[in-house]
Amino acid sequence: MLTAVITKEEYAAAGDAVKEHYKEDNGRYILEIDLTEHPMAQSLMAKVEEERAGNRKATEALDAALKKFKNQDQQLKGDLTSQINTLKDEYEEKVAKALRERDQWKTHAERSSITEGGARAIAAAKGIPALLLPHIQQQAYVDDKGRVLIKGKDGKPLLRKGYVNFEDYMSLDEYVGTLRDSPDFSVAFESKGSSGTGAAPASRNSKTAVPKFQDLTDGGRILVR
């Protein structure tokens, strides 16, 4: 039976058939036999290689599964991000549309409130709507509390005569009353001494013709021609 390592003396006493299996290494001799040629060794090596091949296939399958999972995960994240962005854009558009519609209805309601309130005030004061209403629509506005206010020359809301506080604002009826007393707008009202026809009496011999009201300027003055 061959041993793995023998001494120099043992090597010298051994026959040539034994010596050929040993190799010198620092004063000793080490057994050097190619076991791969042995049938048992070859069987063991075949099993090892089979196991290694199986491990390689399992590793490759695991890597492929991980890669597929990562790709699906990235695709899923991309799809979710796209869907979220789409839903976000749709929601923001719906909100913006609702806000636009709200502002449009608010503007319409405010204009209607000013127009209807102005028309009632003008009718009560026996004024001419075609001349007075455009001016009122230009000067009146609705504040954030829904109150119809009249804008003064300084841009601030007009206050009532004899106001008791700085929120005692002038109403449309009161504003129309100030227009009646104004030299610029007094002719847009029926004369206090007018007849039932609604027209102020005029003399045929009068040199002054009855004015025809054409338009209002930006300053609110009536042009007569």
202 band by pLDDT with thresholds 50, 70 and 90: very low
d(CA 197, CA 130): 18
Res 203: pLDDT: 42
pLDDT of residue 225 exceeding 70, the answer is: no
136 vs 162, which has greater pLDDT? 136
Res 194: pLDDT: 52
Res 1: pLDDT: 62
Strand-pair partners of 24: 29
Res 21: pLDDT: 79
Could you tell me which of 99, 148, 92 has the C-alpha nearest to residue 119? 148
Res 39: pLDDT: 75
Beta strands, E only, 8-70: 22-25, 28-31
Integer angstrom CA distances of residue 3 from 8, 19, 40, 57, 168: 13, 12, 19, 40, 121
